[in-house]
Amino acid sequence: MGLNFIGLVAAASTFFGVWFGHVCVRKIESRAKTIWIPTLLFAAAGAILAWISLVTSQLWLSTATGILGFTLLWDALEVTRQQNRVKHGHAAANPANPRHARLLGEYPAATTLNLLEREPLGRPVSPAQAAALVRQRRP
């Protein structure tokens, strides 16, 4: 019996798609001066990949572009969701970015600290403790 690599292609596309959406969208949103440009680029790239998946006759290419296309379309929405996380202090603001600097002034919960940058303690932590724990880890 021969091996079927479609599952592996689907797995790699899914993992890379989620990684890109999770890690790269954060970095791009943190640096972008306006969010509509990355949103538009993600939507366009997603639509192009989805179209390729429709017109190709190769199963592996249809698999990869179909999955990556839809994850990129979702990433277009994630850019706005990431900005909302920054507003609520759930993601670190970049003070060097004028858009984030404005958010830091407008939203009291916004912070330059990444409050997730530590090990779990196994108990609830107050906002002040959370900030102190993250500061302790910084060199």
Partner 1 sequence: MNFFGILLGLATLFIIGLGFVWVIRGERYFGYLWWPYVMASGVVLIGWSLFIANPWASALLGALGASLLWGSTELKEQAIRAELGWYPFHVRKIRPPFAATITKWRAPHL
Cβ-based nearer residue to partner 1, 90 or 99: 90
Which range in 29-37, 61-69, 75-83, 103-111 contacts partner 1 by CB under 8 A?
A: 61-69
Residue 112, interface with partner 1 (CB under 8 A)?
no
> 137 exposed, middle or buried (CB, 10 Å; 0-12, 13-18, 19+)?
exposed
Question: Least distance to partner 1 from the beta carbon of 108, Å?
Answer: 16
Compute the distance between CA of residue 8 and CA of residue 1 in angstroms, rounded to an integer: 17
Cβ-based nearer residue to partner 1, 12 or 101: 12
Residue 25, interface with partner 1 (CB under 8 A)?
no
One of 24, 45, 47, 125 touching partner 1 (CB under 8 A): 125
Compute the distance between CA of residue 105 and CA of residue 101 in angstroms, rounded to an integer: 7
Q: How many amino acids of this chain bind partner 1 (CB under 8 A)?
A: 51
Whether residue 69 contacts residue 49, with contact meaning beta carbons closer than 8 Å, is answered with yes
Give one DSSP letter per residue of 47-81, joined into a string: HHHHHHHHH---HHHHHHHHHHHHHHHHHHHHHHH
Residue 118, interface with partner 1 (CB under 8 A)?
yes
Write out the residues near partner 1 by the rule CB under 8 A: 1, 3-15, 17-19, 22-23, 50, 53-57, 59, 61-71, 74, 90, 115-116, 118-125, 127, 130
